[in-house]
Structure 1
Amino acid sequence: MNIPPSISTIIWQQPYPFLFTIISGSHLYGFPSPDSDYDLRGVHILPVQEVIGLETGNETIEVSEVCEALEIDLVTHDVKKFFLMLLKKNGYVLEQLYSPLILTTSPEHEELKFIAKNCITRHHSYHYIGFAATQWKLFEKEQPHRVKPLLYVYRVLLTGIYLMQTGIIESNLIQLNQVFNLPYIPDLIVQKLSGLENSNLSDFNVNFHQKEYERLRYQLQEAYELSTLPEAPSAKAALHNLLVRLRVCVS
């Protein structure tokens, strides 16, 4: 994909070196509208003196800017905070780590991808069940109904099912639907791609999509029960060692 120059400018303006930066949001999920903003995510590395001293650096950096009519939101976490989130049932940070839309990378980024495979557990299903429920409630309460939260519902549920079945993070709804073959997904994506970010649905059947939401939620629960993924992460020692090396490198 073509990366607007203003994105690179914002990345290089940040005060700390990056382990990696990626594009998340609708661009990662496969359905950006023409006016979609760019959600940038990443991991920065605080130097030792900003970790052990009385004055510590920012564990989280958030930047929101509008550059040439382009809205850009950047959120990065320090490596320790990110590693601790990896050890929890947090599918969102896994999706960031394995995003194919990479802006900056490093050899340690690749190493972390390998280590983080041992952070994936059966219990990540709770993240996706909860996220889908939140998006469905948002979708239900809005009148008229918007296409974006409905696409998020399907994207989240399919990502969760696929993760439970394969142990692989796949965030792109177009790629996921090549596996699940839901016939209504392409039309919903076309509506999102051709309209504005907050476009309303056309030719919409609420009861049909509610039944599909419930069916896929049950399928995710069933995939969790049948999953052979581990009960708990086993990557803590490897993450610790990588964290120490990264701190030393930027001290």
Structure 2
Amino acid sequence: MKKHIQHVIKQLEIDYEIKVLYACESGSRAWGFPSKDSDYDVRFIYVHKKNWYLSIDQKRDVIEVPSRDSLSIPIDNLLDVSGWELTKAFRLFRKSNPPLLEWLRSTMVYYQSFSTVDKMRQLEKNIFSQNACLYHYLNMAKGNFREYLQGDTVKIKKYFYVLRPVLAAKWIEKYNTVPPMTFQVLLEDLLTNGVLKEEINTLLKRKIAGEELNLEPRIHVINEFLLEEIEKLELYAKSLNIKNPDPTSQLDDLFRETLEEVWK
């Protein structure tokens, strides 16, 4: 599949007259709990030619294949490929956008070219906002918990979509850094051995083995942990009042450097 994805990336460059700077896996495969039929959620950052930016009109700054855009070659049915144009990526990077920060830490990198992404990683420590990232993961956890884990029977696989953001928020509280993408790394670092960890590991093994994990009785020890941690993390988030320096001028410089490096 990796070779097919790289072929798709090269065809994107041809069809859309762009250069792809970076492409990685961003979904359940990168998180470490894919099902047998999980999609490949490929996310990429790209840059247009210089003249594309010399316009009085704002243009579309995403490419989404196959949901909204097409490609001149057939692609695998499991592929979901979505990219952000570089200035869009930089504006989100400036806000410490957690999905983008996760992309930069993906353990499944399909493609990288030029120096831009390495330079973004160097800037990350000054751009990372504990406030913004904590609230992102907290809101994700609360929303998924309300939607999926309220009844006596629940969609059991949805536990991962609450557990992962809760553990990511706990990582930020503990280390004040971007959390790793891999669920198992978060689990091993943040939870001590015991009944809770055993229950989560059992679920994890079932999901990776390809079990359906549909409606089952809720797992009380996990529900209690999630409720308690969400409450604690909300209090911690409210106590934060950290302001980051504005990185706009650095990102402007990096954008110009990228255009020169890519299209020289």
Smaller-chain TM-score bracket = 0.7 to 0.9
In the alignment of these two chains, the number of paired residues is 245
Q: Does 1:153 align with 2:162?
A: yes
**1:162 pairs with one of 171, 182, 189:** 171
| Shift, 1:248, TM fit | 2.6
The answer as to whether partners of 1:87 and 1:233 remain within 8 angstroms in 2 is: no
Q: Offset at 1:185?
A: 1.7
CA distance 1:55–1:248, shift in 2 (3 Å)? farther
Q: Which residue of 2 aligns with 1:88?
A: 95
- The CA deviation string for residues 221-246 of structure 1, in whole angstroms up to 9 with x for no partner, is 3554677x942254322212111111
Distance 2:152 2:209 in 1: 20
Partner of 2:252: 240
Instruction: Report whether the alignment pairs 1:128 with 2:143.
Output: no
Closer, same or farther: CA 89–148 of 1 in aligned 2, 3 Å: farther
Amino acid at match of 2:214: N
Does the CA contact (< 8 Å) of 1:22 and 1:40 recur in 2? yes
SS at match of 1:33: coil
Corresponding residue of 2:204: 189
Q: Check 1:236–1:189 CA distance in 2 against 1; reply closer, same or farther (3 A cut).
A: same
Residue 215 (1) aligns with residue 225 (2): no
Question: SS in structure 1 opposite 2:78?
Answer: strand
Paired AA for residue 112 in structure 1: M
2:144–2:161 CA contact under 8 A, matched in 1: yes
Is 1:174–2:184 an aligned residue pair? yes
Per the alignment, in what secondary structure is the counterpart of residue 66 of structure 2?
Answer: strand
Q: Structure 1 residues 142 and 240, CA, compared in 2 at 3 Å: closer, same or farther?
A: farther
Take 1:231 and 1:214, find their aligned partners in 2: how far apart are those partners?
A: 29
- Secondary structure of 1:157 counterpart: helix
RMSD: 2.6
Change over 3 Å in CA distance of 1:226–1:187 after alignment to 2: farther
Partner of 2:146: 137
Superposed CA deviations along residues 44-101 of structure 1, whole A, max 9, x for unmatched, are 0112111113677641000028845x41111110111011111225211111122121
Q: Which moved more, 1:17-26 or 1:213-222?
A: 213-222
**2:227 partner letter:** E
In 1, the alpha carbon distance for the partners of 2:90 and 2:41 equals 20
Shift of 1:206: 4.8
Q: Calculate percent identity across the aligned residue pairs.
A: 22
Aligned-partner SS, 2:198: coil
Q: TM-score, with normalisation over the residues of structure 1?
A: 0.86
Whole-Å separation in 2 of the counterparts to 1:231 and 1:250: 33
Of residues 218-227 and 170-179 in structure 1, the stretch that sits farther from structure 2 once superposed is 218-227
SS in 1 for 2:81: strand
| Higher radius of gyration, 1 or 2 | 2
Q: Distance in 2 between the 1:171 and 1:129 partners?
A: 16
* Contact preservation (8 Å) 1:22, 1:99: yes
How far residue 108 of structure 1 moved from its aligned partner, in angstroms, is: 2.1
**TM-score (normalizing by structure 2):** 0.82
Task: Kindly indicate whether the alpha-carbon contact (under 8 Å) linking 1:122 and 1:231 is maintained by their aligned counterparts in 2.
Answer: no
